[in-house]
Amino acid sequence: MSNQYPEKIVYDLPGFLEITAGEFITKLEEQVASLPELIDIKMNNKITQLDKEDDLFVARSDSSTIVAKSVILAMGNGSFVPIKLELENEEDYTNINYFVQKTSDYVGKDVVVLGGGDSAIDWAMMLEPLAKSVTLVHRRDQFRAKLSSVEKLKQSKVNIITSFIPKELKGDKNNLQSIIIESVKDQSSQELFCDELIVSYGTISSINYLQEWGLDVINKKVEIDLQSKTHIDGIFAAGDVTTYQGREIQIVLGLAEGMQASASENQYLHKGIKQRPIR
Ligand SMILES: Cc1cc2nc3c(=O)[nH]c(=O)nc-3n(C[C@H](O)[C@H](O)[C@H](O)COP(=O)(O)OP(=O)(O)OC[C@H]3O[C@@H](n4cnc5c(N)ncnc54)[C@H](O)[C@@H]3O)c2cc1C
């Protein structure tokens, strides 16, 4: 969250009318830091190997080996890369963005956003009061975002173009100046001039370890039960790394699964005796 959308306002966290993703992460960090006797944090450790050796789990990264009696997986989508446009010279232009890091970079500018999901609409709506103009281009005529967001979008000043796909990028050295879009219905084209282009086509997850670690994986996610247990005794999971029927991608759901995983882990470690995990 703090990497991908630190300034995005999140409206669906209980207890907060609105809060930026970055502020929320800071609050979580403060909470974790208040429990130094319980939580030992190892930063910059990408776990690439997880083995069971006798009764213990051994997690390995490039720089360390961690031995534990149990494991909670909370890796989200793993390390991920944004889906690119795959158009000529895309890599050359420094004003093509795949995440919005600082909204101040867009003040007074002509911004084009490509995409039709929640993130694309959220960015368009957030930048609309700051930018000179915001144009949202989506390849379908229906958005696949929350209905309430789509309604707000339609009432905003965002210029909405549907059923068009990007065809060509035009610019000068490192500066993209315009994008040619083409109608999927009649192949007519339009040129959109822009100071900043945001490509919001989602990300490709690079999680390929889960299967190697012997977990039950469906669409690159680990299947869990109502107790946040994976099918391997002693391994639990929470957050976007998990799957079950109807699971939504929501922060609050990941937090609840984290609580459940930690309660189940406690029972596992204390042989079925229920204990309150923390405080
Ligand atoms: C643009 C955007 C907007 C969103 N807006 C909202 C919103 O408004 N409201 C809402 O409820 N949800 C929103 N979401 C969804 C929300 O961000 C996720 O549901 C939530 O972040 C999932 O949390 P997580 O801890 O499971 O995964 P993540 O937040 O992805 O965290 C996983 C962490 O694990 C680390 N990691 C990965 N692999 C390894 C490894 N092998 N070893 C060690 N560490 C590893 C990663 O670096 C990362 O720090 C949004 C998502 C996006 C992309």
Question: Rounded to the nearest 5 degrees, what angle is found at the Cα of 199, between the Cα atoms of 193 and 204?
Answer: 160
Each residue of 222-259: pLDDT tens digit? 999 999 999 999 999 999 999 999 999 999 999 999 99
Helix/strand/coil for 66: strand
Each residue of 59-94: pLDDT tens digit? 999 999 999 999 999 999 877 789 999 999 999 999
Give yes or no for a contact between 63 and 184, defined as CB atoms under 8 angstroms apart. no
Range list of β-strands (E), the chain: 9-10, 19-20, 49-53, 56-60, 65-68, 71-73, 80-82, 96-97, 110-114, 133-138, 159-162, 164-172, 175-183, 189-193, 196-199, 203-205, 217-218, 221-223, 235-237, 242-243
The reply to whether ligand 1 has any atom less than 6 angstroms from the CB of 49 is no
Each residue of 15-71: pLDDT tens digit? 999 999 999 999 999 999 999 898 888 888 889 999 999 999 999 999 999 999 999
The reply to whether ligand 1 has any atom less than 6 angstroms from the CB of 208 is no
Is residue 4 over pLDDT 80? Answer: no
ipTM of the complex: 0.98
What is the assigned CATH class of domain 84-201?
Answer: alpha beta
| Cα–Cα nearest to 109, from 197, 201, 170 | 197
Instruction: Calculate the alpha carbon distances from 142 to 191, 217, 246 in Å.
Output: 22, 31, 22
Is residue 278 over pLDDT 60? Answer: no
Each residue of 183-216: pLDDT tens digit? 999 999 999 999 999 999 988 876 678 988 999 8
The reply to whether ligand 1 has any atom less than 6 angstroms from the CB of 254 is yes
Q: Which of 75, 144, 228 is the best mutation target for the ligand 1 pocket, counting ligand atoms within 8 Å of the beta carbon and taking the most?
A: 75
- Calculate helix-pair angle for 147-155, 118-127, nearest 10 degrees: 30
Instruction: Please count the CA atoms within 13 angstroms of the CA of 52 that sit on its side-chain side.
Output: 13
Q: Which of 80, 121, 228, 249 is the best mutation target for the ligand 1 pocket, counting ligand atoms within 8 Å of the beta carbon and taking the most?
A: 249
CATH homologous superfamily of domain 42-80+205-269? Answer: FAD/NAD(P)-binding domain (3.50.50.60)
Domains 42-80+205-269 and 84-201 are alike in CATH topology: yes
Query: Which atom of ligand 1 is closest in space to residue 13's alpha carbon?
Result: 11
Where do the domains of the chain lie? 42-80+205-269, 84-201
Which pLDDT does position 1 carry in this prediction? 82
Give yes or no for a contact between 241 and 215, defined as CB atoms under 8 angstroms apart. no
